[in-house]
Each structure stands twice: as structure tokens, then as C-alpha cells.
Structure 1
């Protein structure tokens, strides 16, 4: 009997540059992650609110992880490469060499990170202009976007940086340039972080009004005058130099990139959900919201027509899913906040010791400890008199108020492990309540979302996921492959390779449902009360600020 000849499997590499590490995955055409690697990248924090990185260090990490995930694979079967990254600002001179973004003149530190808030004064002045482009960023630009950072460089590093700069790249676009030698930018980055309009292009009047008219002189060559849709092939694919660096074949397709959160959206929001009895099953993809939660969290909602949501970025046309408008809510710190609260507690050394002794992560141990102290109550009810407002790094959405601070109400003199577990739980609940605040604001403006798709590091924490389901009242869908951001990057590479009809086709065929977490509707009244308190905390903080301004 003649054996049937098997068709060779096609593979795609997805590379994700996160806040503190670079990760890569080798993904097959069926959406299975075959190999995964990560590698840390350096962060410099020379002064408060200043966070810097090195583009050379980041690229070297990309090369390291890519070579590892492709070991033992016939590289001729690797058909495409996709990048995503944080929306950090990369500065190069006219010869593509790194330029210092600091007063110390350290050229290796040429990246202003997304979470850098040095441009607070500049963004306040930009928002005072009330220019019409601000309507597409929720009415108020964030300090984490690129125009205020560019203005800061011009005003603070005029001679050493601004005048010498040849190219300002969003980090995802720097990576596609490094791979292909083509300076084309992704529509995603320019629309979401630079005020580019997918319909009208750059608005000269905005740049003149904020004092950056010099960017117009060369027809925006420094910030991007060739724009590609996410997933479109860039140039002639991988250059011979980049192929050697990455251990891949010259000429394989390289996709126009995405911001990391948007890659997470691409990796899961188009998944086929038939048979899971979800409210979104027979509805438009616009009934889904993607929540990408790691160091920070992003909330991605799409619509067939533009929806303007106060304090929520967008609407951006085709910035994530082609031919859909995107709104992007966000929380500036989530994973970082949980880590800050837990590691700063007096009982943290005890937690470390006990978690290590039981061979568990500190968060798995804390979740188990909460189960021990809950007695007959649902675990969430333990915080009936402990409340947190989570904006320790300002509010991105839906209030767009950089000046807001964190709040904790209900502290006692207790310093033990029980106390640490409770503040940990209250912080997770506060983040979930913040998500509810964003979702309800989007729904009030015209979005019709009913199902949450969640990915990122925090989605691996079952308590975090359950609190989001219970507090929003929506089912949470977790992908079969937990690394949805990397899946999104690989889907970009698959789209660029032309192995799929469209980006949506690749999304549907490569994304798969893993698990569905349903809300405990019987606890709804408790969480409605917690939400009332949550909103009161915000009102009170604003009242306190008003009182102190009269001093």
C-alpha cells in the first residue's frame, strides 16, 4: 500500500518587543506555537519619569530569540516574519546611527520608552490648542504618544539630538526597517501615536501650531511619508544582512508591523467561536473587545463606523482590523502595579519563602492563600471594606488625567500575609473595575460589546481573569495559545507571505479558543456596590485637588 505524501508545513515567525523583554514564536499555518523563546532587554531610568532603551540592544535580542526558535527547522519552510513592539520612540541620525535622547550624551540610549512621562508639560500645551486632530485621540493627547516626546527633544536637546536627527521611528517601524532597509511606516503606528489620518494624511496646521513645523520641510521624511497597512509586505523582504543576523532566508516576506497591544487584538479577536454559546457567536466581530494585559493594559474595541469616545483613543480607521474603526482604551499600569503593591509590602519576604517552599509562583501562592482565609464567602467579598483606586501612574482612559494618583481606603495596622493577600486582591479588583469604567464609557458612546477576549501575562492568573468576568459581567475568552500577541505578529507574517487570502482570513484560521471563563452573576450586587465606591474614590480625589488649589 502506497503511503500518502504529506504536504510540508509552512511556518511564520512572530517577534514581540515588550517593555522588558523580546519574545519570539515559531507558529505553523494552523496556529500552533511550535517554539517560544524570550530574552531580557535593558531599561535605564536616569531620573523620575524618564525611561530609556537601546535600539541596538533590542535588535540583538530579536536576533537571539529568532535563532533559538528556528533551531532544527528547515528555514525554507519559514514563509513570513512579523514584528510588534511597544510604542516607544527610536531616534537615529541621517546615517541611521543611534542618537542620545538624554543630556548625558549616551548614544546607545536612543529610545524614549512608551511609559516615559518626561513630556508632561509639552502634552499639556498640545492639549490646550484643542486642534481638530485631538478628536481622534479621545479629545486629549497622552504623554505616551510621540508628538509631545518630539517637542521635548526639540526644546531640551536641540543641538545634540533634534538638529542631528534623520529619522524618528516608532519602535515597531524601526524593526521592519532593520529587517528590510525600507523606511515605510505602519498605518497602525502613525494613526494611533502620531496624529496621521488614514483618510487625509498629515495635517500641516497641527505641526505648525505646536512648534514642530520643521518636520514639514522634507515632506515628513523624518517621521514617515510612505505608509503601509498592517500585514502588507515591506519592500523585497528580508535583506541579506538581516537574514544573517536572524538566521533566516534572504527575501522571506516581512510584514508592516503593529503596536504590541494591537497585535494581541489581531491574535484573538477574529477567532472562530462557533459552538461555545457566547453572546458574540452570531454577531459582528464588533461585539468583541480585546483586552491585552501585561505591564499595562489596552482595551481594543472595533466598529463599522467611527465612534468618538471621550478619554478613549481613536477612532482610527484600519489601524488594527482592515476596514474597521478602532477605539483603544488603556490603563497605564496593571501588571507593574500588582508587582509594586505586592513587592513593597512588609510581608513580601515571608511570601517569597513560603512560595519557594511550595514550588509555586508568588501569585499562585497568594491565590491559594486567599482561598484559605475566605471561609464561606466568595473570595471577592473579602474586600468589602478595602478599596483601591489604581491610577498610581495617572489615568489613561477614560479620564485621560495624567495627574491622578493611586488611593487605598481601609488600611489597618496588620502587616501579615493575610493583609498582603487582601491588598493584592483589592488591587486586582481595582484594575477590573477600571476595565468596567472603560467598557461602560465605550458602550455609552455607541459600542455594542458583550464578550471579552483576553491575553497577555496577567491573563495567566485565574484570579485576575475571574475578577474581570465577575466585575464586567461578561464572559472572558482565553486563546488556546496563550501568547496571543506573538500569534498576532506571526499572523502578520502569514498575511505578508500571501499564504492567506487576507488578514481576516489568517486571523480566523490561526486563532483558536482555549477556555471560556463565565461571570458569577450571583455576585453582581456586591460588585455593583464596589463599582459605586470606585467611582466615589475618583470624585473624592478630584475634590481634594480642588480644595488644595485654594491654599
Structure 2
């Protein structure tokens, strides 16, 4: 039996899972790490924590599976995307990493858009805005605000690339991340040199990893020190992964043109697969070859989703029984008895791409209880997804169902609300941990067990259940959705930004 080690470096923890060649998970272990939040929508993490957690989780998973390191043929991982790291010549972090949800670089994002560079066509067909989450705005923020750090940085990269450097000693970036967030054009010139030159930092290209590898490509073998730290051997191949949500598409089996994918967690991401590139306002992409060779990906996303529910948990305090909250919320009618939530608690990614937008709970009365707010949050998040799917449809891309993965799939209510607000079925595969299963498929492909990623999907992704929309609820949500859409223009000038 062949085994593969897969990791998912998420917002709150790093999880390692070990899969066999049939897609069966034989071990799983997660290690949490801290995020530091500060005013100005700032969020930072310590890169050393990622490494420590990877080592601990790898060894714990091997012990749970009863496997020796030499039994692991290959490993791959998915991580948060746009989590930017500045490293010195020795590969040591010069400052905490700017987490993906850190949107302090909003002015820098505006500066990127103001260049009018041709690479910006990926941002709503050139209309923008550019997201403050992305690599170039964050690098520009470091240059403007921490010039000593910028000048000392031998490497500016992402979470994914930091682990790759620690594991193999190679400065190698994923085509998935650079095509998605660095304005890298795989079929048209590579790095966005004209863009960074216009911003006054042409040397940024030299600070980026010199090598770019596509998902499924072998980066190299583990160094002896890295292998020892993880409990593996230097014979273990490191196969390129990428952004957690995009690798999650592979693990959920979303690979064919016309399919829609919904990745849930601290944030939501929506993706579609297309053979031909197209660009439209309110969506990002299409990105060439970043997941599957010869195919393009269209994208939408919500910055805060599951993290809003975690906020409510902290806000309510005391005992927060999620099962009881789901039960009470399920008994409420659509609309949560008058509540409508704008889900922009950490800004809006799409369709508005407004880092300064903020969340709101409207329609509150003294009769409302926490479970009303709980359901209203799920409805606001789901209607945010609907708004993104509508922007896809305006651009000419429609899907007949959504394939969902991630933590929100544990709530039948949440998934039902998604089906009802979008008006299409939600399909949930047997394994909803898309990033780790997707990483395992890439590892198996890179190790030579499957000729293509599609072959790996056919062998390792298993079917699950389908949640159909409720026609009465679909009709009820049409009026509520109209009220949701009215919130953004009404509140954008009223809320503190």
C-alpha cells in the first residue's frame, strides 16, 4: 500500500492527514497556532509556529497510523494564500507574516490599480479594485512603512514557499499562488515586471522565488534535517501544492468545465472551471493552468464567513452549544424574523472588492435572541455567496450545482440555506476535507501513481450526499436577498471606514 502525507496550513491551525492510494484517511492530527489582531484590520502570524506545528502534526499522524517514515512515498500541502513572509538571507523571518485576511494595504492596493497595467485585467476585467489581501499591495506596504525590512529581505514569499524552503532548501513558488495572487501570467511573460516597476520596486522580482512549479510537480526531496524533524526520510518527495481553497477543488473532485466549487472555513471561496478564459466585473480570473493544465479558473470570495460565527461565539460568551444553536435556528423561518446581516466583517473580497466595507446586523429588536443572530449570519454569508454566483452569471458562467467542502458542511442547516438562497443543489462528497485530500492526490500524481490529476480524482474522491433547495424557501429568500443587496450601497457611506 502506498501512503501520502498531506498538510493543510489554515488560518487557525495546521492539520496533517495521511492517505492511502484509495483516498482513505488513516490518520489525522491538528496543531493550533495564534493570530495577532490589531486595529486597522491587521492580522499577523509567526512563521516559526507553522514549522513547529507541521513537525508535531507529522510525527503524531505517523504514530496514529502506525507507519514508519520510509512508508510515506511523497508529501504535499495546501496553505492560506496571500499570507506574505519577508525572510533574510538565511531564510529567517524578518517580521511576523501578514496573514491573508490582513487588509492594511488598502492604499497600496489603490496604487496598484492606478498603474493601469495590463495584468490587472484579472481584476474584474481591469475595472478593479485590487484586493489589499494580495502579494503586491502587501509587499508595497512593507516597502513604504518598513523600508529596513524590505531592503533586508532576500526573499518575499508566501506561507507555502516558506515551508518549501524549510523542507528542501529551495526557493520555489507555486504556480497556483503566483498565478492567482501575484499577477503572474503563465502563458504571457511570467512575472509582472512592468507592474512592480511602475510601483517603484523593480527589485521585488529578484526577491521572489526564482523557480515556479505547478501543482503536482515534484519540487525535490526532503533535506536530512527536515526529514528528521518530520519523522520521514530524505527519500520522501515533496510535491508542489498551492492555495488551500484551490487545492480543495481537487479534493472535492471539481475539475470539469461548468462545475462550481464552494470552499468553506474562516472564509468562503467560489470557483468555476472553464476551457476558455474570460473576464468580467465582480469576479477574478480567469487564471490559466493554476490547478489543471489547459484549463482556467474563475473566482469569487468572501473574506469572513466562519470567522463571523466564531466572532458570535466569543461575543455571546459562556456556554455556546453549537448543536443547540443550530436546532433553534432551524426552527426559524427564512429571514430570522426581520434580521439581515451584511457579511463584510473583514471587508469585502468580491463582488465589490472593498477592504474598507464593514459588517452590519440590521433589523434588531428586543425580541431577538442569539439564535436569531446565528441564523441571520448564516443567511448573510449565503446571500454573499449568491451575489458572487450572480456576478459569475453576468460574465457568462453558470453552474447547475455547487460542490461544497470545509467546516460549514458539518451544518445541514447552513448547507440548506446555501441551497435555498442560490436556488441550486449543494453536493457534498464523502470527504469534505478538500485541501488535504487534494494534496494527497497531488502527492500520488507527483510520485507517479497517476498519470494525471484527473486520474487521481477518479480513484481517490468518493461520492457523498446532495442537499436540494426547498422551493418555498427559495421564493422567500428572493425578497430577503433584495434587502441584502440594498445594504452595501446604503451603508458604504454611513459606517466608519
TM-score (norm 2): 0.94
Report the 3-state secondary structure (helix = DSSP H, G, I; strand = E; otherwise coil) of the residue aligned with 2:390: helix
- Residue 110 of structure 2: aligned partner: 124
Q: 2:207 aligns with which of 205, 222, 238?
A: 222
Pick from 348, 352, 365 the counterpart of residue 395 of structure 1.
348
Aligned to 2:45: 53
In the alignment, which residue of structure 2 is the partner of 1:245? Answer: 229
d(CA) in 2 for partners of 1:489 and 1:85?
10
What is the aligned partner in structure 1 of residue 13 from structure 2? 21
Residue in structure 1 matched with residue 218 of structure 2 by the alignment:
233
How do residues 338-353 of structure 1 correspond to structure 2 at under 5 angstroms? 338-345=309-316, 348-349=317-318, 352=319
Shift of 1:544: 4.6
CA contact (8 A) 1:178 1:242 kept: yes
1:204 to 188, 193, 218: 193
Residue 177 of structure 2 corresponds to 189
**SS at the partner of 1:513?**
coil
Aligned to 1:413: 366
Determine the structure 2 residue equivalent to 1:496: 446
Q: CA deviation at 1:166?
A: 0.5
Residue 323 of structure 2, aligned match among 354, 364, 387: 364
Q: Which has the larger radius of gyration?
A: 1
Secondary structure of 2:308 counterpart: helix
Aligned to 2:379, what secondary structure does the other structure show?
Answer: helix
CA distance in 1, matches of 2:138, 2:186: 22
CA contact under 8 A between 1:14 and 1:81: conserved in structure 2?
A: yes
CA contact (8 A) 1:173 1:257 kept: no
Shift of 1:214: 2.3
Per the alignment, residue 98 of structure 2 pairs with 112
Give the distance between the partners of 2:179 and 2:161, measured in 1 at CA.
13
Matched, 1:477 2:427: yes
Matched, 1:258 2:242: yes
Return 5+ residue gaps in structure 1 as ranges: 1-8, 101-108, 272-284, 356-361
Distance 2:171 2:301 in 1: 29
Asked if 1:463 corresponds to 2:413, the answer is yes
Structure 1 pair 47–423 and aligned structure 2 pair: CA distance change class (3 A): closer
Change (3 A) 1:386 1:47: closer
Equivalent residue, structure 2, for 1:436: 386
Q: Does 1:93 align with 2:88?
A: yes
CA distance in 1, matches of 2:266, 2:227: 31
Kept in 2, the 8 Å contact 1:270–1:511? The answer is no
Whole-angstrom CA distance in 2 between matches of 1:49 and 1:531: 27
1:316 counterpart = 2:275: no
Partner of 1:4: none
Alpha-carbon offset, residue 333 of structure 1: 0.2
What's the offset of the Cα at 1:518? 1.2
Contact 2:262 2:269 in 1 (8 A): yes
Question: Per the alignment, in what secondary structure is the counterpart of residue 459 of structure 1?
Answer: helix
| 3-state SS of paired residue (1:491) | helix
Q: Deviations over 1:78-124 (max 9, x none)?
A: 11100111121111111212212xxxxxxxx3x11111122121112
Equivalence for 1:331: 302
Deviation at 1:203, TM superposition (A): 2.8
Task: Give the aligned length.
Answer: 490
* Partner Cα separation in structure 2 for residue 304 and residue 261 of structure 1: 20
Partner of 1:281: none
Aligned to 1:84: 78
Match of 1:37 in 2: 29
2:449 counterpart SS class = coil
Q: Tell me the secondary structure at the aligned position of residue 344 of structure 1.
A: helix
Question: What is the alpha-carbon distance in structure 2 between the residues aligned to residue 542 and residue 241 of structure 1?
Answer: 52
Q: CA deviation at 1:542?
A: 4.2
SS at match of 1:163: helix
Task: Give the TM-score, by structure 1 length.
Answer: 0.85
Could you list the per-position Cα deviations for residues 297-348 of structure 1 after superposition, in whole angstroms to 9, with x for gaps in the alignment?
1111111101213232211101122221111211000011122234324xx4
Find the aligned partners of 1:324 and 1:401 in 2 and give their Cα distance: 29
Displacement of 1:151: 0.7
CA distance in 2, matches of 1:445, 1:204: 29
Distance in 2, Cα, partners of 1:320 & 1:365: 39
Matched, 1:175 2:169: no
Q: Go from structure 1 to structure 2 and tell me whether the alpha carbon gap of 1:228 and 1:342 turns closer, same or farther (over 3 Å shift).
A: same
- CA separation of 1:32/1:389 partners in 2, compared to 1, >3 Å: closer, same or farther? same
Q: Structure 1: which 4+ aligned runs deviate by more than 6 Å?
A: none
Secondary structure of the 1:431 match is: helix
Distance 2:180 2:427 in 1: 26
Tell me, in whole angstroms, the C-alpha distance in 2 between the residues paired with 1:20 and 1:13.
20
Contact 1:266 1:321 in 2 (8 A): no
Question: Any idea what SS the aligned residue of 2:215 has?
Answer: coil
Provide structure 2 residue ranges, at least 5 long, that are not aligned to the other structure: none
